[in-house]
């Protein structure tokens, strides 16, 4: 940034790090905050990004891809993560499959939907009780480090990892009529 290079947005940094680590398969259930990332990945021929009907399905796809040699990451919002406890506990963790997840965080810092607020509170307890590595990304200057190091770690330790994108990073979603 000090060298005059244009500052990259969070989603551009994420795209670049995924590419560096050869993470090319991107099933997702969309979310408004993830939109710029999804658009970027869909526009780039390096990636195979497509929507699935349920997050569970996406997790299964990433697991199969990993075992057959392709790295994948699942994109979703907090409410989508809440549908995954069983699949994480019965597939990713016991089979030692490094499921990679990006969750755009709803339910905090200005949430207007009480359901989103409540379901968001289940996310970190689920991750913690399964001992799944997770990081809440709040600042632009830490995006690259957190993603780069954690993808390496997931692959090296065969453990899932969850990147939680805080509204502090993304701006989140605010009530608009």
Partner 1 sequence: MALTTNQPVTRDQAKVMNRYDITKRMLTYLHHDEAVIGGIGYSNFDLWAASESPNGRRQQNFYMLGSMGLAVPIALGVALAQPKRKVIALEGDGSILMQLAALGTVAARDQKNLTIVILDNGAYQITGGQKTLTDQGVDIVAVAKASGLEQSAWAADESAFEEMIERAMKEDGPWLIGCRIDTNKPVDTTERDPSRIRDQFMRGMGVKK
Q: Nearer Cβ to partner 1, position 67 or 118?
A: 67
Q: Nearer Cβ to partner 1, position 100 or 146?
A: 100
By CB under 8 A, name the one of 16, 44, 57, 133 that touches partner 1. Answer: 57
Footprint of partner 1 on 77-96 (CB under 8 A): 86-87, 89-91, 94-96
By CB under 8 A, name the one of 1, 68, 131, 176 that touches partner 1. Answer: 68
Q: Tokens in use for 1? A: 């940034």
Decide: is 126 part of the binding site for partner 1 (CB under 8 A). no
CB within 8 A of 45, min separation 6: which ones? none
E-strand ranges in the chain read 23-28, 48-51, 71-72, 74-77, 100-104, 133-137, 161-165
CA–CA separation, 55 and 45 (whole Å): 23
What binding mask, one character per residue, do residues 8-27 give for partner 1 by CB under 8 A, x or -? -----------------x--
Decide: is 63 part of the binding site for partner 1 (CB under 8 A). yes
Decide: is 131 part of the binding site for partner 1 (CB under 8 A). no
Residue with tokens 């780069």: 148
Q: Nearer Cβ to partner 1, position 65 or 168?
A: 65
CB within 8 A of 33, min separation 6: which ones? 77, 104, 106, 165, 167, 170, 171, 172, 173
Decide: is 64 part of the binding site for partner 1 (CB under 8 A). yes
Count of Cβ atoms closer than 10 Å to residue 175 Cβ? 8
Decide: is 116 part of the binding site for partner 1 (CB under 8 A). no
Number of residues forming the site for partner 1 (CB under 8 A)? 31
Query: Residue 136 has what DSSP assignment?
Result: E
**Contacting positions for partner 1 (CB under 8 A):** 25, 48, 50, 52-54, 56-70, 72, 86-87, 89-91, 94-97
């Amino acid at each position: 940034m000090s060298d005059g290079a244009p500052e990259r947005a969070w989603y551009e940094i994420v795209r670049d790090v995924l590419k560096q680590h050869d993470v090319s398969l991107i099933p997702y259930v969309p979310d408004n905050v993830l939109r710029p990332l999804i658009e970027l990945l869909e526009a780039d021929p390096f990636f195979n990004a497509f929507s699935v009907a349920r997050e569970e399905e996406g997790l299964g796809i990433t697991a199969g891809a990993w075992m057959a040699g392709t790295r994948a990451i699942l994109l979703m919002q907090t409410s989508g993560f809440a549908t995954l406890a069983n699949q994480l506990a019965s597939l990713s963790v016991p089979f030692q499959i490094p499921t990679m997840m990006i969750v755009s965080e709803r339910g905090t810092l200005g949430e207007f939907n009480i359901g989103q607020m409540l379901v968001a509170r289940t996310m970190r307890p689920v991750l913690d009780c399964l001992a799944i590595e997770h990081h809440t990304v709040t600042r632009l200057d830490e995006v690259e480090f957190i993603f780069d190091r954690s993808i390496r770690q997931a692959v090296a330790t065969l453990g899932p990892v969850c990147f939680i994108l805080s509204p502090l990073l993304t701006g989140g979603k605010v009530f608009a009529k």
